[in-house]
Every structure is written in C-alpha cells, then in structure tokens.
Amino acid sequence: MNIVSTKCAYHFDKFRQDLIRLQNQYQFIVNTIGHSRLGKPIYEIKLGSGSKKIHLNGAFHANEWITSLVLMKWLEEFLQFQISGEINSDFAKINLQDCTISIVPMVNPDGVDLVITQDVPATWLQYCQTINGGSNDFSTWKANIQGVDLNNQFPANWEIEKARKLPKSFAPRDFPGISPLSEPEARALAQLTEKENFDRVFAFHTQGKEIYWGYENFHPLPESKILAEQFAKLSGYKPIEIIDSHAGFRDWFIYQFRKPGFTIELGLGENPLPLTQFNEIYDDVRNMITAAIYL
C-alpha cells in the first residue's frame, strides 16, 4: 500500500506524516539541518553510505510545492524497490554502497503552508497580507514567510541581483533579502552543502520543462554538458547552459565548488501547477531523477 498520496496539496504536516510513516516502514536516516523562520524543521533524508554524494531539493519557492511531492513519490518508489529487488528496474543501477543520496524535499515549509493552508500565526498572516497588497490570496507567493526569495539568497553575484531586482523590500516574490544568507532556510542549505561537499546538486522548481546546467564560466566541461544532455534525453526537457540569473542555490554551488549543478523546471503552465499535471510530470522525470544518482 502506498503512503505518499498524489491526490492532495502537499503542505508541511502532510509531508512530515509521510516522512514518519516511510521511515517506520523502511528505516532510513532523517536529519534536521535547520529550522524555518517559524521554527519548522527542515528535514534531510539520507540514503546510502558511498563516497559519491548527490543532493536533491525541492520547494525553495512556496507555490512550487509540487516539487516536494515529486521527490517524496520518487523516494517511496525507490524504497519499495529496495524490498522487491525488481531486476529490470532502473533503480537497480543505484548502488547504495557506492553513493550517498541527500534529499531535502521541502526547503521552505512556512511558505508552502502559507500558500496551501494559511495555517501560520495570526501576526505573521497579517504581515503577509500587508506585503501581499492586502490580499489573502497567496497562490502566487514564492518567498519564505519573511518575504525573501530563498533562491536569490546565495553569495554568487548576489549584489547584482540586489541592485537590479524589484521589489526593494520584503515581498511575495523576488526580493533577495538584506544580505546573502540572511534567511535561516538558505543558511541551512548552504551549511549542509559545505559540510557534505556534494559531487552534484539538483534543485527542482516549476515550470518550463527546462534543465539549467551552467553558471558563468564556472561549470565543469564537458561533464556538466554531457550530464545535461543525458537528462534531456530521459525527460524530454530542454537543456539550457546560461541564463541571466545570479544568487540561486545552483549558481552558488557551481561558483563555489566548480562541480555540476542543475535546476530542473518541472511541468508547464502557471504556478502553482495543478495536481492534475502530477502524473505527466512524474512520468517525464522519474527516470531522470534516478539517472541523476547513478550516472
């Protein structure tokens, strides 16, 4: 019987309940790598014990919560494979003695809850309504609860984004904060990455069916290009080397470590993407996520 349901919006409590049930059934490591602005734990799932370290994350942006569900569904299927041992599965290409898998499915739990349930303290709800133009419709909210875009928080030409981004103060989207890594969620990811020294990272966002794989001239060639092309073949997504963007998690990882980093833009349409798209999205990227680990 499946634990992770793809039939309802994936807020923090649902995610945490699924995580507890999966851990009870399959036994894997769950770490708390930090806490959100409202004190919610930011969970990391760890599988394997090998020297090759791969990191995946989702829901940097609040209204892109479907990325958390994609990662949790993949996790459940992979754990089920560990029990069944289906020989013909692509999962069989992953050797947990050779690799360590790190997954942070929900980087921005406060923002996700604001978008889906509005179950946040009353003072914070009032604050968010104020910077949301007085509206209690948070469907387009990307930021954390403070009003900072967590994917504009990293010290990779952050000053460029700060100078050119609008708005210039806390807002539902795009504000890069008062300084790099000012927000606890971004700091948690940066500290985890520095501690673990990952070999590759994958940040899942929506939407566009695109794979961003370069940053300035810091990405390693030909490795990053070859991987991006392989992922494109498996998913049907378009690989894009350079975009005019800075201060994202992937940007910083490539800039800081000179290793392959990828932003995967799932699906097509307007955020938040509806759950009616889930099966199509998952079918497109399931094998790509698996390949991200074994290639």
Q: What are phi and psi of 199, to 5 degrees?
A: -85, -30
Query: How large is the C-alpha radius of gyration of the chain?
Result: 18
The strand ranges marked E within the chain are 29-35, 41-48, 52-58, 99-104, 200-206, 210-212, 238-240, 261-266
Q: What are phi and psi of 240, to 5 degrees?
A: -130, 125
Active site residue 229: no
Find residue 203's DSSP bridge partners: 57, 263
- Which residues have C-beta within 8 Å of that of residue 225, sequence separation ≥ 6? 213, 239, 241
Which one of the listed residues 64, 161, 185, 265 is annotated catalytic? Answer: 265
Q: Which of 249, 248, 186, 252 is CA-nearest to residue 35? A: 186
Instruction: Report the distance separating Cα 1 and Cα 14, nearest Å.
Output: 17
Sheet holding 52-58, edge to edge: 29-35, 41-48, 99-104, 52-58, 200-206, 261-266, 210-212, 238-240
**Cα 252 from chain centroid?**
14
- Which residues have C-beta within 8 Å of that of residue 194, sequence separation ≥ 6? none
- Which residues have C-beta within 8 Å of that of residue 178, sequence separation ≥ 6? none
The DSSP 8-state label assigned to residue 175 in this structure reads -
Whether the CA torsion 59, 189, 232, 242 is positive or negative: it is positive
Catalytic residues, by residue number, are 265
